[in-house]
Structure 1
């Protein structure tokens, strides 16, 4: 049943209760409006010259980057958004490193059958896990990813009607109310933890694997910046659609800096990001964040070689 304006406060109270319950399970949450978008608007929206910000300014309104498991923080976010009627669950964060498989029905294709065909072709099965039913008749499958792997967001890349919510993305939480109805947990799945993503499926969700260098490698890294690994990272960025451009750029930059080719590949990554629609400032800010992230990870005591953020 779609929401009306008769009891908006009640809808917000229910959304907060569901969000707090999710936070208790270790799922970081943000308030959503009835349009499924983050309820808090960017504090930089009126400043076109503001540099890209993922919450470094300390103010709320940065979408999924506001997500928290701290009950006090969650309550504060909802207090600032009394019009919120739902909540989003951030993907890719510890402890679950959530991956959402969104089986959509709006494309007119049978996305469930498409997933079943992928499972048969690549020899994996979807384990028992949390399933959320959407108002449009679709389903969200919750899976848990490895802590050292960054799964990018994608739309229709696996098959028509199958979208993936990974790092930098979020899922609409069960109990959320939207203009089109209520999200609800499928019977018998609410008590389940997100099941580990089958390795064969995980491989399908990731960009092309790293290839050891051959002829034409440079600087002893075993990577050919013109035609090998570096070129693969550039192609990965160039293939980004709107909504996944920053995530793909961040992922590619992390991989480049982990393998020691970040400084050499940075300008080419900026050019690739500009080609997808990002500004040069946004691209350089994202690459700088990746550089800091990989440096911090490499400095952690006991961090394995090549640890991914």
Structure 2
């Protein structure tokens, strides 16, 4: 193995041990960002056997090997001499880490999508650890409640936004891949993962199942949303309309309130085309079809 590879492995181990000191469970990763240890069950004769998550006691179970024990971490890296990075397991105590992966592929502006979600659902991302990826993306680290299991997802929240939750992992800062290095954004390395805003946490959980939807009257709540739009001044008309439409769709009265909201928007000076486009955007952001 080349000297540069040995240096990369040594550096990755050092970063992994440092992360473990902060209570973050880690595993070694290869240059492809995949777990560096091969499964000990790859040649098992029975492919239908229940999956092993480390119960066999051997290494090679991906994120299920993750540990904060320095001796265990050194053992894993010794068994993976070509590792050039490390992964941080999500969903484990004490931080119950949740990763917000903001991608930049295919021209997607995932940061703008997150800002739109924050506006729609009235939350802000607190100061927290931010990891910069080689492709120009960002990983935001948040901590979740111990009694909530956040699932992994890709693009469900919005295009270009992937979620790393229980059973997933984030590439740790200091890791080297075939495309470059992961680094901590300036001014965030000393921070602990900030608590996930409750409104964002609700979006990260699977939506409740509705087996028998029933018609919903807009009632006084719908009238209040319309009045909220009617009270908009120039410069806040779109924002108020977007917010009211998000609330309406979240409360199950979105379809019934489209025309009243459009009429209210017209009274404030918006065109019908602008109003309907804003309401359609709110519908998509809340997981509904316009």
TM-score, normalising length: structure 1: 0.66
Residues of 1 paired with 2:18 and 2:208: CA distance? 37
Q: Does 1:14 align with 2:11?
A: yes
In structure 1, the partner of 2:261 is none
Q: Does 1:45 align with 2:45?
A: no
Structure 1 residue 208: deviation in Å?
Answer: 2.2
Residues of 2 paired with 1:59 and 1:6: CA distance? 29
Matches within 5 A, 1:31-70: 31-49=28-46, 50-70=49-69
In structure 1, the partner of 2:138 is 139
CA pair 65-201 structure 1, distance change in 2 beyond 3 A: same
Residues of 1 paired with 2:122 and 2:169: CA distance? 28
Give CA-to-partner distance per residue, 1:37-86, whole Å, 9 cap, x none.
00001000011514310001110100000000000000000000010000
CA pair 48-154 structure 1, distance change in 2 beyond 3 A: farther
* 1:17 counterpart SS class: helix
In structure 1, the partner of 2:27 is 30
Residues of 1 paired with 2:45 and 2:130: CA distance? 40
* 2:11 counterpart SS class: helix
Structure 1 residue 108: deviation in Å?
Answer: 1.7
* 2:105 counterpart SS class: coil
Residues of 2 paired with 1:210 and 1:148: CA distance? 20
Residues of 2 paired with 1:131 and 1:108: CA distance? 21
Residues of 2 paired with 1:210 and 1:95: CA distance? 31
Q: Runs (4+) of structure 1 moved beyond 4 Å? A: none
Structure 1 residue 5: deviation in Å?
Answer: 4.9
Q: Give structure 1 stretches of 5+ with no counterpart.
A: 212-226, 229-309
* 2:68 counterpart SS class: coil
Residues of 1 paired with 2:146 and 2:107: CA distance? 35
Matches within 5 A, 1:207-246: 207-209=206-208, 227=211
Residues of 2 paired with 1:68 and 1:107: CA distance? 35
Q: Contact 1:107–1:160 at 8 Å: present in 2 too?
A: no
In structure 2, the partner of 1:265 is none
Matches within 5 A, 1:71-220: 71-209=70-208
Give CA-to-partner distance per residue, 1:255-281, whole Å, 9 cap, x none.
xxxxxxxxxxxxxxxxxxxxxxxxxxx
Residues of 2 paired with 1:118 and 1:81: CA distance? 40
Residues of 2 paired with 1:130 and 1:151: CA distance? 19
* 2:87 counterpart SS class: strand
- How well do the aligned residues superpose, as a CA RMSD in angstroms? 1.4
Structure 1 residue 199: deviation in Å?
Answer: 0.2
Between 1:49-58 and 1:117-126, the stretch displaced more is 49-58
Residues of 1 paired with 2:45 and 2:104: CA distance? 37
Q: Give structure 2 stretches of 5+ with no counterpart.
A: 213-290
